[in-house]
């Protein structure tokens, strides 16, 4: 038994070395609040990705070609958030391709973005 401090309320308690909380109430409260933070974060990112995909879909519907080029700032204006991707692939050539579900894109140096839909 060693002297420990509760992770939630800071109250000192004695217990096994793997014990982190003074009682069940603190343990449950701590775990519930963490679960909530995690799911809020997941929901937020999912919403951003879904919106990103909607933007790409609306753009690709307007165009008949497989690839399309768009100014990065136009995408930002439309609400596209570049911070989140579903996948990223780096190639030896230095090009890194970002994925948003079934769409992917890479940035050109001059502020343009080339986008395409993956073939299924």
Contact residues for Zn ion, defined by CB under 5 A = 6, 8-9, 11, 22, 26
Q: Which is nearer to Zn ion, 30 or 99 (CB)?
A: 30
Q: Which is nearer to Zn ion, 33 or 87 (CB)?
A: 33
To Zn ion, the closest distance from the beta carbon of 39 in angstroms equals: 23
Torsion sign (Cα): 70, 71, 72, 73: negative
To Zn ion, the closest distance from the beta carbon of 7 in angstroms equals: 7
Q: Which is nearer to Zn ion, 15 or 86 (CB)?
A: 15
CA distances 42 to 29, 53, 61, 76, Å, are: 20, 16, 28, 22
């Amino acid at each position: 038994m060693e002297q420990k401090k509760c992770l939630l309320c800071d109250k000192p308690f004695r217990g096994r070395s793997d014990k982190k909380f003074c009682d069940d109430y603190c343990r449950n409260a701590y775990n519930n609040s963490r679960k909530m933070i995690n799911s809020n974060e997941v929901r937020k990112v999912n919403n951003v990705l879904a919106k990103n995909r909607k933007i790409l879909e609306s753009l690709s519907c307007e165009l008949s070609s497989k690839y399309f080029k768009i100014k990065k700032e136009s995408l930002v204006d439309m609400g596209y958030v570049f911070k989140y991707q579903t996948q990223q692939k780096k190639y030896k050539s230095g090009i890194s391709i970002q994925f948003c579900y079934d769409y992917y894109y890479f940035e050109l140096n001059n502020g343009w973005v080339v986008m395409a839909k993956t073939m299924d």
